[in-house]
Amino acid sequence: MGKIKDRYAIVGVGESERSKKSETTPLHMALDAARIAIEDAGLEAKDIDGFMSYNENDSCTSHQLATYLGVRPKYVKDILGGGSSTEMLISDAISLIEAGELNTVLIFRSMNGRSGSRMGGGGWDPDMLQTAFEGGSYIIPYGAASPGQWFGLFATRHMYETGISQEHLGHVCVSFYEHAQRNPNAFFHGRPLDMEEYMNTPYLSYPFTKHDFCLESDEANAIIVTSAERARDCKSKPVYIMGLSSRQCHPHAHYWSDITQVASDYVAPEVYQSAGVKPEDIHVASIYDCFSWVVLRQLEAFGFAPRGEVGDFVADGNLRLDGKLPTNTAGGMLSEGYTHGMNNVLEIVRQIRHEYEGTDRQVKDCEIGICTGWAGPDIAGAMILRNE
């Protein structure tokens, strides 16, 4: 995105209770998350003049949320999307604030992802999938109708090309499960994972075991974006947006000349140029982790390890809190919870604010972080954030 460096900030974050069976509605959870984010920013509901959300026909609308908060907003927007939608909606919010149309925007994701409509599970019509998923007619009629099967194919090819092993996938999982032990709100808090257990776990869809899949959860997350000028008057410490590549797309893999390419390869140079930093300047990361392999491929794309060496990078413990690149420090979507990546955004904001100072959760000397989004190999986004 254009010249936005340090001119906009995230000033509030909030999350509802996380569970496997909420016994309530996405609207109720969205209200909980929104109210916490508004309080975190030191604002009132009437200060929010824009509401945005993304969903997969499994949530409430922005208009509903605004209505139940007692607000008549200037602008609402709901999109069909997952993975990289947080970055895209932040970009949209910035554009509208820049144009003078809005002052402050609340973005949320709310879903009963376990007790309601389950991603890739029941309720997904094969005909709808073939229409929505470009190239789906090549694989869905043959039984590959779920994300685990699609991503497994990409992972297998990449592993063959680069020498990544099953153990390298395991190091991602073990590192994130370790982080979850410090997070009492993580699903896998109190349930650590070691490499022996990982390697003895059966495959669900090669090369993925159950540990390589993201979780299903009932929860809502919310963030608030405003200008740097307004951010100075907010209660919590602002986290400034240095650079943003809201969403990069290129044709689906069925049309590529090189099926090992991913959209993150195009996002990376754009977001670093926008922020004016390099990979070595990053202190903490939230890497979209719908599957363990997706983390490895993005670490490559964003320059944290050369192609063919990313396996050694994670095996050396570099994703841990004391590693070179502490990553998904709340446990990520593999072991904390799953809201199509927004929970990872909340965590990196808290790390950059130093909210965990004095505990074993805080990354030391954490001033600049990267947060990535991934809706598939063909769609991605990223943003780079900093402390004051």
Active-site residue set = 288, 338
> Which DSSP state fits 142?
G
Taken as a whole, the chain contains a residue count of: 388
Cβ atoms 44, 37 nearer than 8 A: no
Q: Which residue, among 147, 162, 183, has the nearest Cα to 335 in the 3D structure?
A: 183
Give the residues across from 106 on adjacent strands: 51, 224
Alpha helix locations (H) across the chain?
26-41, 62-68, 85-98, 126-132, 147-162, 166-180, 195-199, 228-231, 264-275, 292-301, 310-315, 332-335, 342-353
Amino acid at 386: R
Would you give the DSSP letter of residue 291? B
Query: Do residues 371 and 385 touch, judged by C-beta distance below 8 A?
Result: yes
Residue 348 and residue 316 in contact, taking contact as beta carbons nearer than 8 Å = no
> Which token pair is 240?
């400034």
Give the whole-angstrom CA distance, residue 55 versus residue 31.
16
HSE (CB half, 13 Å, CA atoms) of 334? Answer: 34
Question: Half-sphere exposure of residue 49, counting CA atoms within 13 Å on the CB side?
Answer: 11
- For 121-129, the CB contacts below 8 A with 24+ separation are 121/146
Instruction: Give how far the C-alpha of residue 350 lies from the chain's centroid of Cα atoms, to the nearest Å.
Output: 14
Specify whether the backbone of 312 is left (phi greater than 0), alpha (psi in -120 to 50) or beta: alpha
